[in-house]
Amino acid sequence: MIKFLTILTMIVMATAPATAGPAPELVAMGKSMAGTWSCKGQGLGRDGKLTDMTATTTWTVEMDGWWLHERFGAKIGAEIGHSYDGYISLDQRSKKWRRVMVVGGGGWNTGETTSVAACGAAPNGCRMDWELSAHSMMGEFLVRDHVDATDLKSGLKGWGELSRDNGKTWMKAYELTCTR
């Protein structure tokens, strides 16, 4: 069955109209985000309170320019490590940015943007608001993730919220500012 699906996918892709390449917005975002960033802020501790957090995130453009890859590693307080590898691309047909994240501890998140502003205003990037479904060993929950790359001279800013009751209530999960 898997072999059949692989062959079917290859046939569909071979007969699909060729695109000119990755969307200009994706190319611009890749150029503005590429590199290693050092981050400081606060993240949700085991006690449910925000505590000091440091992180490093590295952005690269991969897969012939079709995906931005973010590798993220953080230390929240003295005891919590948090890491993920995330991939972002722009679906040119729907004009939706898509995100897939593989999270340390066996979890994964998937979602898309709900709003995007100021994309392609070089040398800066976009302001993106994401809605993600998160799946982890601790259960499933929703994430609202916000990334502001519109003024990279003052830093890349990120903040997020999570909901364990399907969006009825939200709690702040983190807030970070990153610099190169």
Task: Note the pTM of the prediction, 2 decimals.
Answer: 0.81
Specify if 126 maps to a domain: yes
**Residue 45 belongs to a domain with what CATH number?**
2.40.128.20
Specify if 16 maps to a domain: no
pLDDT band, very low/low/confident/very high, at 2 (cuts 50, 70, 90) = low
Distance between CA atoms of residues 115 and 129, nearest Å: 5
Distance between CA atoms of residues 110 and 86, nearest Å: 9
Convert the pLDDT of each residue in 33-91 to its tens digit.
Answer: 889 999 999 999 888 899 999 999 999 999 999 999 999 999 998 878 889 999 999 98
Specify if 104 maps to a domain: yes
Specify if 91 maps to a domain: yes
Q: Structurally, how many domains does the chain consist of?
A: 1
Domain that holds residue 141: 28-179
Specify if 21 maps to a domain: no
Mention every residue, 6+ apart, whose C-beta is less than 8 A from residue 45.
51, 76, 77, 80
